[in-house]
Amino acid sequence: MTEEKNSPAEEAEAEAEAPKGKDPVRLVTLIVLAICVVVFVWYIRSDRFTPSTSQARIQALVVPIVPRVSGHVTQVGVRLHSSVEGDDMLFILDQRPFVLTARSADASLDQVTQELGVQGATVKSAAGRLGVAKAQLDRSQRSYDRTQKILDENPGALSLADKDRSETALAQALERVSSAEADLEKAQRQLGIEGPENAQLRLAIAAVEQAYLDLEFTVVKAPSKGAIENFNVDVGHYAQAGQALATFVSTHDVWIQADMRENNLGHIEAGDPVEFVLDSAPGKVFQGSVRSVGYGVSSGAAGNRGDLPSVGHSTGWLRDPQRFPVIIDFDGGATEGLLRVGGQADVIIYTGERTLLNPLGRLSIRVKSWLSYVR
């Protein structure tokens, strides 16, 4: 017995009468859209109140080690990547020429002292000659006055030769006084100011101080605690004054520069707590705080004063946001041995007590710390 088949119209009518079930595709779509909306809202809020960035690097003061005098290197006290303390000896230059210069300066000072003594004696001698000349002038003046008095009382008592001799003696006495006064002034000018303010003495003392200062500069020392980089100098190298021998990386002030997007900066203030992770220490989260926020960056167009400002523009549909440096302080003890200038870090900043955003931010930075294992 054959089974009768329903007609197409009857099947369509049966399907229309059957209860409709939930469409799984539509349900999944709604769930995905809901998740996207939640993530988008969280991203917008966290971008303002718990901003984070992976564009952060460790920074420190980098100083070129430059000798102040020139000379051949006779001793090297460090190696590449050596750790040094303040005033540690790095290099010693050949000191023999500077020792000779210092001895010469000492001898010049002694010579100047002797010359000043001689010049002082010359001043005293010139003053004595001036006194003698004045005494002779006084005697010649009295003799001339007596001659004139006699001639006035009795014109025939003295000859014209006697009159000429008295006049000549007086004129010679006046000239000797003038000459003695000039000699005394010359001697005083050559001597200058007496005592430690004498110009010759001060010049000789300055030469001695400079010679010994240059001798001290032959020992090149570390300016503070740090490490030596970019170093390839050995004994025999001629060090030129003003040209770097090595690069010194100071470790007494190390910070993180986090390049934050401009729309992250609205709520960031100095002192805000920070958490960061280092690529050199995966799985660890370190604490810090905001030191300062940058006030400006270069637009890439250099201009002179007086020019109109150069304004950059974007040619695409969307432009990349400008980034500004945010400087972050941290405890150097917790990161000792992990810091290298230029090393990368991930940073998150907490701009206040955010009930939901702060825990999510702490979770995200810890996830990033573990992801450092597989970068």
CATH at residue 230: 2.40.50.100
Six-digit token string for 178: 């003038």
- Average confidence score pLDDT of the chain: 81
User: Do both 170 and 239 map to the same domain?
Assistant: no
pLDDT at res. 1: 44
Could you give the CA distance from residue 81 to residue 232 in angstroms, rounded to a whole number? 11
Residue 14 is assigned to a structural domain of this protein: no
CA distance 242 to 221: 15
Residue 306 falls inside a structural domain: no
Inside any domain, residue 88: yes
Place of tokens 């001895």: 103
Residue 307 is predicted with a pLDDT of 59
236-253 pLDDT per residue, tens: 999 999 999 999 998 888
| 8 Å CB contact between 290 and 258 | no
Q: How far is CA 93 from CA 106, 221, 263, in A?
A: 22, 12, 54
Ranges 80-84, 160-164, 255-259, most confident? 255-259
> CA 303: distance to chain centroid?
25
Q: Per mean pLDDT, which range of 36-50, 101-115, 120-134, 260-274 is the poorest?
A: 120-134
Q: Are residues 236 and 347 in the same domain?
A: no
For the cut 90, the answer to whether the pLDDT of residue 102 exceeds it is yes
Residue 336 belongs to domain with CATH number: 2.40.30.170
**Element at 255 (helix H, strand E):** strand 246-261
Residue 103 lies in a domain: yes
| Residue linked to tokens 């992770």 | 277
Q: Are residues 88 and 122 in the same domain?
A: no
- Asked whether residue 307 is assigned to any structural domain, the reply reads no
Bigger pLDDT: 185 vs 349? 349
Does 23 reside within a domain?
no
Judged by DSSP in three states, 195 sits in coil
Work out the number of other CB atoms within 10 angstroms of the CB of residue 53: 18
Residues 145 and 207 in one domain: yes
What is the distance between the alpha carbons of residues 186 and 122, in angstroms, rounded to a whole number? 10
Distances in whole angstroms, Cα of residue 208 to Cα of each of 113, 167, 203, 204: 13, 57, 9, 6
Residues 6+ apart with CB under 8 A from 228: 65, 78, 79, 80, 81, 82, 84, 90, 246, 247, 248, 249
At 7-22, the pLDDT tens digits run 555 555 555 555 555 6
Task: Tell me what percent of the residues of the chain surpass a pLDDT of 70.
Answer: 80
pLDDT in tens, 148-204: 777 677 776 666 676 677 778 778 778 887 887 787 677 767 766 666 677 788 888
Distance, in Å, from the CA atom of 82 to the CA atom of 272, rounded to the nearest integer, reads 35
In sequence order, the 6+-apart residues with CB closer than 8 A to the CB of 108 are 204, 207, 208
CA 84 to chain CA centroid, nearest Å: 19
On whether residue 19 sits in a domain, the answer given is no
| Domain total of the chain | 3
List the CATH number of the domain containing 172. 1.20.58
Q: Please give the distance of CA 7 from its chain centroid, rounded to a whole number.
A: 96
pLDDT, one tens digit per residue, over 56-68 is 999 999 999 999 9
Q: Can you give the pLDDT at residue 312?
A: 53
144 plus 279 within the same structural domain: no
For residues 363 and 271, membership in a common domain is answered with yes
| Residues listed for the chain | 375
Strand 219-221: give its sheet, edge to edge.
219-221, 89-93, 71-76, 238-239
Residue 50 to residues 167, 282, 289, Cα–Cα distance (Å): 110, 22, 13
Q: Is residue 34 part of a domain?
A: no
160-191 vs 96-153: helix crossing angle, rounded to 10: 160
Both 207 and 293 in a single domain? no
**Same domain, residue pair 238 and 344:** no
Rounded Cα distance between 329 and 348, Å, is 13
130 and 151 housed in the same domain: yes
**Do both 160 and 196 map to the same domain?**
yes
Residues 292, 375, single domain; the answer is yes
318: pLDDT strictly greater than 60: yes
Range of the domain at 334: 46-60+252-298+319-375
Q: What gap in Å lies between CA 347 and CA 268, rounded to an integer? A: 13
Residue 143 near residue 167 (C-beta atoms within 8 A): no
Token readout for 58 is: 């460790």
